[in-house]
Amino acid sequence: NAIVTIEPKLFSKLVNLEELGLGSNKIETLSADTFTGLVNLKSLDLCNNQINIIDPKAFDHVVNLETLKLSYNKIASLSDGIFDSLLKLESLSLDGNQLTTLSSNLFEKLINLKGLFLSSNQLTSIYPKTFNTLTKLDTLFLGSNKFTSFDVDTFKLVTNLNKLYLERNQLETLDPQIFSTLTNLVEIYLFDNKLKTIDPYIFKNLKSLRNILMEHNEIKQDKIELYLPESVTFLLFKDSNNPFYYDEENHLDSVIRPNPISRPTSSKWTNTTRPASGTVQLNFK
């Protein structure tokens, strides 16, 4: 379609409407009365428009909303309190916009949020308390932004997190304690960053962790030692700039799949088949 504007209160009589799809139009503005009357709306799709102005009260009437999609618009900023009425929201998509910063209390009232999509923006930093109230969050997308580092407390209270996407940023360092409270984390994506080193104990306490993807960084250590939980089954460091890359001639690759059956009784598994320049030691405790 080619909808550019929505008349205020256009949907005011559709009190029983549960889903509204307005994606792939040319909508630029959401006013305070755009969604008046939609008290039973559960899903609102506004993806792929040209939205650049959202009134702070635009979502005040859709109090039963569970899914809000605002991906791929031209949103550069979001007002404090804009999501405060959405206490039942479970999924919020803001990826593919022009966000450069997020206020520390932007998501404060979203206590039932499970999925937050912030990839492909221009974010450079996040206030340490931004995610503190999101105790039910299980999936967090922060990939394809401009982060160089995170405060050690950024993810401290999102302890229910299952998947964390930090790929395609400009991360140079990670505090050794940055993930220490994420005991439910299963997958972490750190590929295509600028990490030059990795702390041996950074993943040690993540008892649910299974997949770690860290290829295409700038790690140049001759010897990498990682202490991993026994749950890890897939670890990937694969690119020509780090010591876990081996060509096919050597019949070695960069995928390390620890086999619990073959582990020594000491619980320490060391890959001794790799050349000295790329020695990998994995400790399971």
**pLDDT tens digit sequence for 201-237:** 999 899 999 999 988 898 876 667 778 888 887 777 7
Return the minimum-mean-pLDDT range out of 191-195, 271-275, 278-282.
271-275
Note the pLDDT tens digit of each residue in 177-201: 999 999 999 999 999 999 998 898 9
Beta partners for 187? 163, 211
In CATH, the number for domain 1-146 is 3.80.10.10
In the numeric block, the tokens 């256009």 are attached to 10
Per CATH, 1-146 and 147-285 having the same topology is answered yes
**CA-CA distance, 72 to 93, in Å (whole number)?**
9
Report yes or no: 44 and 14 within 8 Å, Cβ to Cβ. Answer: no
Count of residues for the chain?
285
Nearest to 226 by CA among 239, 214, 241: 214
Task: DSSP for 166-188, please give it.
Answer: --SS------TTTTTT-TT--EE
Digit-coded pLDDT (tens) for 73-84: 999 999 999 999
Distance CA 6, CA 245 (A): 54
Per-domain residue ranges of the chain: 1-146, 147-285
pLDDT of residue 242 exceeding 60: no
Q: Region 33-42: what's the mean pLDDT?
A: 97
Contact 149, 126 (CB under 8 A): no
Return d(Cα 231, Cα 257) in angstroms, integer: 11
DSSP one-letter code for 248: G
| CA distances from residue 166 to 154, 170, 171, 192 in whole angstroms, order as listed | 13, 10, 9, 9
Could you say which architecture CATH assigns to the domain 147-285? Alpha-Beta Horseshoe (3.80)
Closest CA to 235 of 217, 211, 219, 218: 211
pTM for this entry: 0.87
Residues 146-160, mean pLDDT to the nearest whole number: 97
Q: pLDDT at position 121, please? A: 98
pLDDT given at position 263: 32
Identity of the amino acid at 179: F
List C-alpha distances in Å: 26 to 2, 6, 71, 73, 76. Answer: 6, 10, 13, 9, 17
* pLDDT given at position 250: 33
Count Cβ neighbours within 10 Å for each residue of 189-214 and write b for 16 or more, e otherwise. bbbbbebeebeebbbbbbeebebbbb
Measured distance CA(101)–CA(182) in Å, rounded: 24
**pLDDT-derived band at 23, boundaries 50, 70, 90:** very high
Q: Is the pLDDT of residue 253 over 70?
A: no
**What is residue 222's predicted lDDT score, i.e. its pLDDT?**
62
Average pLDDT, the chain: 85
Distance of alpha carbon 218 from alpha carbon 95, whole angstroms: 26
Residue 71 has pLDDT above 50, yes or no: yes
1 compared with 105, residue with greater pLDDT: 105
Both tokens of 10, joined, read 């256009």
CA–CA–CA angle 279, 231, 114 (5° rounding): 120
Per-residue confidence at 265, pLDDT binned at 50, 70, 90?
very low
Task: Name which of 11-20, 39-48, 228-237 the model is least confident about.
Answer: 228-237
Distance in angstroms (rounded) separating the CA atoms of residues 47 and 30: 13
Tokens of 266: 């000491």
Q: Is the pLDDT of residue 119 over 50?
A: yes
